[in-house]
Amino acid sequence: MEPIEVIVNGRTRNGATAGPHTSLLDWLRDQGLTGAKEGCAEGECGACAVLVARPDGEQGTRWTALNACLPPALAFDGQEIVTAEGLGTARGACAVEDLHPVQREMADRGGSQCGYCTPGFVCAMAAEYYRPGRTPKEATPPEGTGTSATGERHAADHEVGPNGFDLHALSGNLCRCTGYRPIRDAAYALGAPDEADALARRRSAPAPAPRHTRVHDDAGDFVRPGSLEELFDELEQHPDAVLVAGATDTGVERNIRHTRPRLVLAIDRLAPLRTLHTNETSIEIGAALTLSELESALDGRVPLLAELFPQFASRLIRNSATLGGNLGTGSPIGDAAPVLLALDASLVLASRDGEREVPLAEYFTGYRTSVRQPGEIIRAVRIPLPLAGSSAFFKIAKRRFDDISSVAVAVAARIENGTVDDVRVGLGGVAATPIRARATEDALRGRPWTYETAVAAAALMGNEGTPLDDHRASARYRRAMLEQSLVRFFTQAQPQPVLEVAR
């Protein structure tokens, strides 16, 4: 077995000092790299952000910003990481000329006061600084942002500066004292990377391949299987093992609830789980593709998913989170499930005995329970084609971005000649599981697409599920939002009037 090693800021370090449940953040700080901080331990503040070398095609590397507080350090065996300390080239007393361009702009434009959040901002900003294809843009909506029920581009979901910097790359980074305008000014002042920049040159070489990692100690075991067959072997011997891809859920469980599973199986780099196939009848999405990878690959071809992505947590989370993980937890408030229900998606479940396809609407059986059997994994999500012509996703939360939904509503409808030919409505946050709004669908299907039809169906939708009073919202509020969401969809799914230009 190869030694456990992690390349950090160009230096190979002994990763065997990390245990199966040691977070990447804790391990880095134990190495003396204390720039990354623990703010929330839940992936919501970005103070712990670092850069990781990830594949960008077969021969390229993309510098990707991640929350270091969530994934286990052992998941980075053989991988390359850059912290805020590794961006500059200072030796001894820091001189201005030693600063990385991102650090220099943050300093020159007053982007830091107490400095607690600054290393995380710098790393997230550096990931966007090195993003392939970042070029000065005109004031037009960026490519791949998707279309709504009205066919309009979601330009409001992105704020792109004159230098092509997408400000939503910083959406998972919080600052409590500086104020965001100086930070935005720093981001928008960045030019293109210099040709002599080592991190820019690194992008043209392949990213490190995943290693076959196996670590055992008294606290538990960590295994990165090399194949699905090996994964099934481990699950057969340890049916209570925890599968980890992005660790955006399991990392929170470890940090906040102090869960310590006996065996952690890292499946984020298994090739059979990272595929994306499209044919005439369906789109098949590998369960371990990150949401950011999926967003880039689809490039707006599934408008309902294009609406979901900017509202799903933050960029730092989407750089790690997967559809398989979001569905595998069985959470009733996961944002992906309502969208996939509206898309009539099914799950490809795989085990040693083969594969079976289960409609997502039949997958959940209760609170965080499903039809998935011991030894069975989610291999892929399958979305049938063609897609419905009109769709929308409504996330009702206390914050517009980076928040947990009080209610999530996804609608996909096929409207032909003024009649609702077919419709599917997915709901989250109103029952013990994500659900289809069956009564609402029945009230719409085959009816004229009129305001009266929408209002009558909305009254039914307010009674779908079993909304509860909790700290996020009251049951009464949730019912009201269900009703309003359908009326809102009706107003969006209307043909837009042609405005005459005054001569």
Q: DSSP character for 97? A: G
Task: Retrieve residue 480's tokens.
Answer: 């009201």
* Paired tokens of 132: 């392939």
Contacts of 276 (CB under 8 A, 6+ apart): 283, 284, 285, 286, 289, 294, 297
pLDDT at 381: 98
The DSSP call for residue 83 is -
Answer positive or negative: Cα dihedral of 194, 196, 197, 199.
positive
Q: What is the sign, positive or negative, of the torsion defined by CA atoms of 17, 22, 28, 31? A: negative
Question: Which long-range CB contacts under 8 A does 307-310 form with residues at least 24 apart?
Answer: 307/146, 307/148, 307/154, 307/339, 307/391, 307/392, 307/393, 308/335, 308/336, 308/339, 308/393, 308/410, 309/146, 310/145, 310/154, 310/157, 310/158, 310/168, 310/401
- Please report the pLDDT score of residue 59 as a whole number: 85
Helix (H) or strand (E) holding 293: helix 291-298
- Closest residue by Cα to residue 465 from 432, 439, 430: 430
**Token duo for residue 374:** 């011991």
Q: Cβ of 359: how many Cβ atoms within 10 Å?
A: 13
Tokens of 341: 């229900």
User: Which helix (H) or strand (E) is 393 found in, with range?
Assistant: strand 390-396
Contact 431, 424 (CB under 8 A): no
The predicted model scores a pTM of 0.92
Q: Is 210 in contact with 54 (CB distance < 8 Å)? A: no
Tell me how far apart the alpha carbons of residues 328 and 243 are, in angstroms, rounded to a whole number: 9
- What's residue 154's pLDDT? 39
Burial degree of 479 (CB within 10 A; 0-12, 13-18, 19+) = buried
Per run of 10 residues, the mean pLDDT along the chain (length 503 residues) is: 92 96 98 96 96 91 98 98 87 63 96 95 98 74 40 51 94 92 97 93 95 93 97 96 97 96 97 97 98 96 97 96 96 96 98 98 97 97 97 92 92 96 97 98 98 97 94 94 97 62 34
Q: Which two tokens stand for residue 327?
A: 């569905």
pLDDT at 96: 53
Sign (positive or negative) of CA dihedral 75, 77, 79, 85:
positive
